[in-house]
């Protein structure tokens, strides 16, 4: 994936060809202005100082064998709406369509088929609620090998990446948007390979994780132990 940088003056995308990393200059073809590449790419915002403040909802564990583990659990405010909504919507539709059949002991095929979308909707809503209640992000870092997990208990998605002393860590605009504004993701860059994650985390959490990664890369092996992995969360 080609990274997209945004001009700080006119918000137009800046292509890689118009970026000179060694002189730290990015040229915007739309408005003709130049800006600092470090600023445009978001690299300027990763600072080791962020490591001194562990953000809310975050835990850090260090283990000589397993390495460093960052766990992030945050209950979303949307639950305050989602739980009563699901209880009402699912409760009404499930009782009205299936509950009444069970209560009367009389099976109605037409009614049952009509209720399937409501049943599927209920399963999805309950899954989303469980994820928001119990879900976690977990980032493991150990001697050049990193792992990002997003899920509940052992169930979820795991993505792996590698890092070494040459790896660049940045916060950069991603394709994930909130209110039409691109959210920054944590970027682990090994040469041309990019590994991005964490766009939906809070800015504080991203800065802390990025700072931890930056610190880890400084003490990491000189070369990656294994090839880069790809995938999406």
- Tell me which residues touch Zn ion (CB under 5 A): 7, 9-10, 12, 28, 30-31
Give me the least distance between CB of 183 and Zn ion, in Å please: 21
Of 19 and 233, the one with the shorter C-beta distance to Zn ion is 19
Give me the least distance between CB of 15 and Zn ion, in Å please: 12
Give me the least distance between CB of 12 and Zn ion, in Å please: 5
Number of Cβ atoms within 10 Å of the Cβ of 157 = 11
Which neighbouring-strand residues pair with 139? 70, 148
Question: Per DSSP, which regions of the chain are E strands?
Answer: 5-6, 13-14, 19-20, 25-27, 34-36, 58-63, 67-72, 136-142, 145-152, 155-162, 168-178, 181-190, 193-197
- Contact 37/20 with Cβ under 8 angstroms? yes
Looking at residue 227, the DSSP 8-state letter turns out to be P
Of 7 and 210, the one with the shorter C-beta distance to Zn ion is 7
Of 3 and 115, the one with the shorter C-beta distance to Zn ion is 3
Give me the least distance between CB of 30 and Zn ion, in Å please: 5
Of 28 and 139, the one with the shorter C-beta distance to Zn ion is 28
Paired tokens of 51: 């490591």
Give me the least distance between CB of 196 and Zn ion, in Å please: 23
Distance, first Cα to last Cα, the chain = 15
Residues whose CB is less than 8 angstroms from the CB of residue 203 and which lie 6 or more positions away in sequence, other chains included? 184
Of 28 and 213, the one with the shorter C-beta distance to Zn ion is 28
């Amino acid at each position: 994936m080609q990274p997209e940088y945004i001009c700080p003056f006119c918000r137009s995308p800046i292509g890689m060809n118009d970026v000179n990393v060694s002189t730290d200059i990015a040229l915007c073809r739309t408005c003709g202005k130049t800006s600092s590449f470090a600023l445009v790419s978001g690299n300027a915002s990763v600072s080791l100082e962020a490591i001194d403040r562990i953000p809310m909802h975050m835990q850090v564990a260090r283990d000589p064998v397993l390495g460093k583990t960052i766990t992030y659990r945050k209950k979303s405010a949307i639950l305050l709406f989602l739980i009563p909504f699901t209880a009402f919507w699912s409760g009404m539709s499930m009782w009205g369509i299936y509950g009444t059949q069970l209560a009367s002991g009389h099976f109605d095929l037409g009614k049952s088929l009509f209720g399937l979308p409501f049943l599927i909707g209920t399963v999805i809503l309950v899954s989303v609620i469980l994820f928001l209640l119990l879900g976690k992000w977990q980032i493991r870092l150990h001697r050049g090998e990193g792992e990002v997990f997003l899920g509940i208990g052992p169930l979820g998605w795991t993505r792996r990446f590698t890092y070494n002393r040459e790896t660049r860590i940045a916060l950069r605009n991603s394709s994930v948007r909130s209110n039409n504004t691109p959210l920054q993701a944590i970027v682990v860059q090994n040469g041309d390979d990019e590994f991005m994650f964490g766009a939906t985390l809070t800015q504080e959490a991203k800065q802390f994780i990025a700072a931890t990664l930056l610190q880890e890369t400084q003490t990491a092996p000189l070369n990656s132990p294994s090839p880069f992995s790809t995938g999406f969360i």
